[in-house]
Every structure is written in C-alpha cells, then in structure tokens.
Chain A
Amino acid sequence: MASGKAIEPMHQFEINKIVELKLFGTDISFTNASLWMLIALAVISLITVYGSRQRAMVPGRLQSLAEVSYEFVANTLTGVTGREGMQFFPFVFSLFMFVFAANLLGMIPGSFTVTSQIIVTAAFALLVMGIVVVAGVMKHGSHFFGLFVPSGVPVPILLLMVPIEIISFLSRPVSLSLRLFGNMLAGHIVLKAFGGLAVMLLGAGAWAVIAPLPLLMAVAVTALEFLVAFLQAYVFTILTCVYLNDALHPGH
C-alpha cells in the first residue's frame, strides 16, 4: 500500500539535518541541501578542473565538455554585453554551472533540488543585482542612475516614468529568483503527483488498470523537466547578462 508519505509531494523539498552545527547560536547544520550543493560543486570541478588538467590540444571527453560549457557561456555573455562583459565571465560561468548542475542533479530520483529553495534563488538574484549596482556605480558613478531616466522624454512623463523604471529595476531580483524557484518547485511537484497517482492507482484494486496513464505522464514530464532544467539555467544566465549589460552601458 502506498503510504501517505510516498505521495506527499512536499516531502522532497524538506531539509533534513545530517550533521548538526551551530555558529554563534545560528543553526548552520550540514543538511541534505548542503550535501547536494557540495555534490554540484564536485561535479562541476570534476568537469572543469579535472577535465582540463591535461591541457590537451585534442580534447578528451571531459575536456570537451568543459570547453563546450566555456564557449557556450562566453558566447552568451559576449553576445549580450560585448567583449567588455568578459570581466564578469568567471561569475556568470560559475552561476550558470551551479544552477544547471543543481537543476540536473535534482532530476536524480531521491535527490534534493538545491534550486527549488527560494532562499537559494533569492540569494543568487540579490547577488546578481548587487554586482550590477556595485559594478555600475564603480564604472559610471552617479551616471549609472541615468538608467532610471529614459532620455528624450518630457519632464511631466518623467515624473511617471522614473518611479516605474525604479520599480521595474527592483522587481528584477524578484522575477529572477521566483522564475527559477517556481519552475523547479512546480516541475518536481507535478512529477511527484503523477508518480504518486500511479502508485495510488496500483494499490486501488480495479483502478490499477489505468495506472499506466499517470506513469506515462510522469515519463513525459520527466523529459520536459530535463528541458526545463537547462532552459531555466540558461534563462537565469542570459537575464544576468542583460542586467550586467545595464551596469556596463547604462542609459537607454
């Protein structure tokens, strides 16, 4: 019989302490979330650091993977911000790889999806916006805030436009974090719901006949989720590039 826990779709997002730790009274326990962050770090390091150790002229498998990732992120970044955006390349690359790795690792049954936690996506989004503001102010000084003042607009309309631009800017980290969080969360809930439904139907006598239907759906949604895992990492990265472009070239 399917237990209540097996079809509890929220169970997969629960954070369980593995090693309890405290720092100045704050709970910093090593949890399953921490574990999967470390695994993501390990996987990325395996590909990029270990994979490129030979610096081969003709790359092997891991090195090819590392090079493809490098060129993909570099092309995305320079495509949006131009050559000067390459100063942010290590950050954008780390961000893409971490989010992509976390999304994909979340597809392993029984694993934990780091990016399905709003605190993680919010931290990334705030980090991006923080870098945008700091880099923008450092590069252009107060001129950076011209971002909020569209050029060639009459003053009465500016009174309306400037608040809208400011709200738009402030809403960026929210949309950035919620998009990734929502996609990861919803995808895994749907997966779990279909999987749980299949199990439930199997245990419900004659209804077991239609149990394959939700199973087929679960398979289809799994395929979709792999696409979403990549797409959301890409969207997060390209939006980061767009926002960084504002820091490099403020003004419309």
Chain B
Amino acid sequence: MRFVLVTLIATLPALPALAAGAEGGGHRFPPFDSSTYASQLFWLVLTFGALYALMSRVALPRIGSVLEERRETIEGALRAASAAQKEAEEQAAALEASLAKARANAQSIAGEARDKSAKEIDAQRASVEKDLATKLAAAEARIAETKAKAMGNVEGIAKDAVSAIVEQLGGKATDAAVAKAISAAQG
C-alpha cells in the first residue's frame, strides 16, 4: 500500500502535465483538466469558508447549547424524581411507624379494658356467691328447723295412732309402752 502511495506521490507533479498533454486529444479526462482548477478552488474556498463560518458561529453553538440544555433538563428532572421518590419512601416509613404505634396503643387500651372488666366481673361474682352462700345457709337452717318440728309432730301422731290401734284391738296401751314401741320402730 505504501509503495503504491509513494509511486502516486511521484506521479503527482506530473498530473498537470498529463492534463495539459491530454488537451490535444478530443476526449480529455475532465477531473484532470487543470483549466477548471482555479474556478473550482475559488468556489470551494468561498462555499466551504461560508459553511465553516456558519457552522462555527451559528449552527454548532446553537445545537450544542440545545443539547446541553436538554441534558441538564433531563438530569434535573431525574434528580427531582429521585428526590420525590425518596421523600415518598420517607413518608411511607413514617406512616408505617405511626400505624404500628397506633396499633400498639390500641392493644394496650384493649388489654387494660379487658383487665378492668375481668376484675369487676370477679368482684361481682364474689359478692353474688357470698350472698348466695348466706341465703343457702339460712335456707338450710330453716329446712332443718322445719324438719325437726315435723319430726316432733310425727312422734305425737304416731302415739295417738298406736294408742288408737291398740284400743281398737281391745287392748290397753300405756303411754310408756307406746313410747317404747315407737322408739323401737324408729330404730
């Protein structure tokens, strides 16, 4: 490749000569026609110079600033978004914490209420039971009294009945014998 280029360099000064030599012929290779070079160079310098001036002074600073501005806008928006997200997360955490606190609070209140009502119920139950016990004792005493009285009555009735039965049979029963028989029957 390098040798090719070296050869080409060597032939480069000969190009105008080639072009000039070709001038004699009917068909000249247009790119080597050196009579057009001055005009092409002139207009190239003019147009490329104008292009360079326009690009470096107007277009490129403008496009560059637009791109820069857009990058900054996008970065700013991303920063704002991440800040907002962080804040939202913080708020969510705070909400979570206050929820947990409220829950604990509610549990303690419920516990207290439960304890208090259980105590009250116990106290009531104790008083009711005491009341019932006294009533029971009174009732039992009454029953025992009634029973004793009834037993006394039964003895009298039995004496009367025994003396009556013995008389009907034609016997004569002494009070002492009757009492002895009844107590034997009573066991």
Q: Are B8 and A90 in contact (CB under 8 A)?
A: no
- Mask, A154-176, CB within 8 Å of B = 1, is 00000000001001101100110
Which stretch (A24-32, A210-218, A230-238) binds chain B? A24-32
Q: Answer whether residue A91 sits at the interface, using C-beta atoms and an 8 A cutoff.
A: yes
CB distance from B100 to the nearest CB of A (A): 45
Q: Answer whether residue B157 sits at the interface, using C-beta atoms and an 8 A cutoff.
A: no
CB distance from B56 to the nearest CB of A (A): 3
Q: Are B55 and A171 in contact (CB under 8 A)?
A: no
Q: Are A97 and B38 in contact (CB under 8 A)?
A: no
Give A27 to B35 CA distance when docked, in angstroms. Answer: 8
B56: chain A residues within 8 A (beta carbon): 90-91, 94
Taking residues whose C-beta sits less than 8 angstroms from the other chain, chain B's interface range is 35 or more
Q: Answer whether residue A104 sits at the interface, using C-beta atoms and an 8 A cutoff.
A: no
B64: chain A residues within 8 A (beta carbon): 70
A98: chain B residues within 8 A (beta carbon): 47-48, 51
- Mask, B16-55, CB within 8 Å of A = 1, is 0000000000010111110111111111101110111011
Q: Answer whether residue B65 sits at the interface, using C-beta atoms and an 8 A cutoff.
A: yes
Q: Answer whether residue B97 sits at the interface, using C-beta atoms and an 8 A cutoff.
A: no
CB distance from B103 to the nearest CB of A (A): 49
Chain B minimum-CB-distance residue to A53: B62
CB distance from B6 to the nearest CB of A (A): 6
Q: Are B66 and A33 in contact (CB under 8 A)?
A: no
A94: chain B residues within 8 A (beta carbon): 48, 51-52, 55-56
Q: Point out residues on B near A: beta carbons under 8 Å.
A: 2, 5-6, 8-9, 12, 15, 27, 29-33, 35-44, 46-48, 50-52, 54-56, 58-60, 62-67, 69-70, 73
Give A12 to B173 CA distance when docked, in angstroms. Answer: 175
Taking residues whose C-beta sits less than 8 angstroms from the other chain, chain A's interface range is 35 or more
* Residue from B2, B38, B40, B73 having most chain A Cβ neighbours under 10 A: B40
B65: chain A residues within 8 A (beta carbon): 55
Chain B minimum-CB-distance residue to A12: B30
B38: chain A residues within 8 A (beta carbon): 26-28
Contact among B39, B58, B62, B70 with A33 in the assembled complex (CB-CB below 8 Å)? B39
* Residue from A118, A164, A167, A168 having most chain B Cβ neighbours under 10 A: A118
Give A231 to B49 CA distance when docked, in angstroms. Answer: 24
Q: Answer whether residue A148 sits at the interface, using C-beta atoms and an 8 A cutoff.
A: no
Q: Answer whether residue A71 sits at the interface, using C-beta atoms and an 8 A cutoff.
A: yes
CB distance from B62 to the nearest CB of A (A): 5
Q: Which of A109-129 contact B (CB under 8 A)?
A: 114, 116-120, 123
Chain B minimum-CB-distance residue to A11: B30
Q: Are A71 and B40 in contact (CB under 8 A)?
A: no
9 A-B pairs (CB sep. < 8 Å): A28-B38, A41-B50, A48-B55, A52-B59, A57-B73, A70-B63, A116-B31, A167-B9, A171-B5
CB distance from B3 to the nearest CB of A (A): 10
Interface of B is mostly: helix
Q: Answer whether residue A56 sits at the interface, using C-beta atoms and an 8 A cutoff.
A: yes
Give A52 to B58 CA distance when docked, in angstroms. Answer: 10
Contact among B40, B51, B66 with A120 in the assembled complex (CB-CB below 8 Å)? B40
Q: Are B39 and A123 in contact (CB under 8 A)?
A: no
- Mask, A50-69, CB within 8 Å of B = 1, is 00100111010001001100
Given contacts A34-B43, A91-B52, A98-B51, 11 further A-B contacts (CB under 8 A): A13-B31, A27-B35, A34-B47, A44-B55, A45-B59, A55-B66, A59-B66, A90-B60, A118-B15, A118-B31, A119-B31
Q: Are B40 and A117 in contact (CB under 8 A)?
A: yes
A29: chain B residues within 8 A (beta carbon): 39
Q: Answer whether residue A204 sits at the interface, using C-beta atoms and an 8 A cutoff.
A: no
Give A224 to B12 CA distance when docked, in angstroms. Answer: 30
Q: Tell whether A48 pairs with B48 under 8 Å between CB atoms, given A28-B38, A28-B43, A117-B40.
A: no
- Mask, A4-22, CB within 8 Å of B = 1, is 0000001001110000010
Q: Are A97 and B51 in contact (CB under 8 A)?
A: yes
* Residue from B30, B31, B46, B56 having most chain A Cβ neighbours under 10 A: B31
